[in-house]
Amino acid sequence: MRSLFLLRWFGAVALIFSLSACGGGKKDTYVEKPVDDLYNKAMDELVEERYATAAKTFQDVESQHPYSVWATKGQLMAAYALYEAGSYGEAIIAADRFIQLHPGHRDIAYAYYLKAISYYVQIVDVGRDQKTTELALKALDDVVRRFPDSKYARDAKLKLDFTRDHLAGKEMEIGRYYLKRGQYLAAMNRFKRVVDNYQTTTHVPEALERLVECDLALGLTDEAKANAAVLGHNYPGSEWYVDAYALVISGSPGTSPQGWFARNVGTPF
């Protein structure tokens, strides 16, 4: 009787384990979905602004149907969804991968643009490290240089102007820091970088005026006059020119508005 009970008990346990194994197997079973169903599902998630989920579904399109035309589309759409989800680092990686795998694709310009704006939106204030700003500058320049006639080039150019201005602002901040502490040579290096490398930015007039300050502080009167002359020639109506003019006049004993500076630059008054 006891043997019969044990036999039934072992049989029940075996059945439980068998059912558990079947259940676990069903859970782990890979189910491949039709490519159009997957892609449409991802697009629906995108429209519903479930960006992280959409990115995962677009990635599933590629992993489940790697040789379909939808796989290539899915790669780029996954990058876009990651960008919209705020996962900018992942979006850049995804866009870079698309660029490497499909350099001749008809949407390659967009991949470059998506990479560029993923850097651009991460630009931080000038008080912090500007490594990302420099990467944004390079990526935006790639868009303009490689695809000058594309619809993305115009926006990239506008963003380039802001990016350059931002980097110039960082140089100015550091230059002012050195100038305030009397470290004139270090300050001059920063201001010269602005004048030489960021000529189209709004910071150039101030940079030239600051160079005049540094020159006069170091006793470099001729250099001060030359920088002030450049400032007056290019930005005659600037308040920085007025300041530079006053500095050169007051910093040059025996010189009046009718002297060298007035003859070569002209008076703003």
Kindly report, residue by residue over 125-136, the tens digit of the pLDDT.
776 778 899 999
Identity (one letter) of the amino acid at 163?
T
Q: How many domains does the chain have?
A: 2
Both 206 and 242 in a single domain? yes
Q: What is the pLDDT of residue 223?
A: 93
Q: What is the CA radius of gyration of the chain?
A: 32
Both 156 and 184 in a single domain? no
Kindly report, residue by residue over 159-196, the tens digit of the pLDDT.
999 999 999 999 999 999 999 999 999 999 999 999 99
Output the pTM of the full model: 0.73
Both 37 and 84 in a single domain? yes
Kindly report, residue by residue over 29-86, the tens digit of the pLDDT.
455 677 778 888 989 998 999 999 999 999 998 888 888 888 899 999 999 999 999 9
For the domain that residue 252 is a member of, what is the CATH number?
A: 1.25.40.10
| 128 secondary structure, DSSP code | S
Both 222 and 251 in a single domain? yes
Both 221 and 178 in a single domain? yes
Both 156 and 188 in a single domain? no
Q: Quick check: is 114 in a domain?
A: yes
Domain that holds residue 212: 174-264
**In 3-state terms, what secondary structure has residue 86?**
coil
Does the pLDDT of residue 150 top 60, yes or no? yes
Both 205 and 104 in a single domain? no
Residues 144/145/147/151 CA torsion (nearest 10 deg): 10
Q: What is the pLDDT of residue 33?
A: 72
Q: What is the pLDDT of residue 267?
A: 39
Which residue, 165, 185, 204, sits at the end of a domain? 165
Does the pLDDT of residue 255 top 60, yes or no? no
Q: Mean pLDDT, to the nearest integer, of 101-105?
A: 94
Residues 43, 76 contacting (CB under 8 angstroms): no
Which residue, 110, 133, 165, sits at the end of a domain? 165
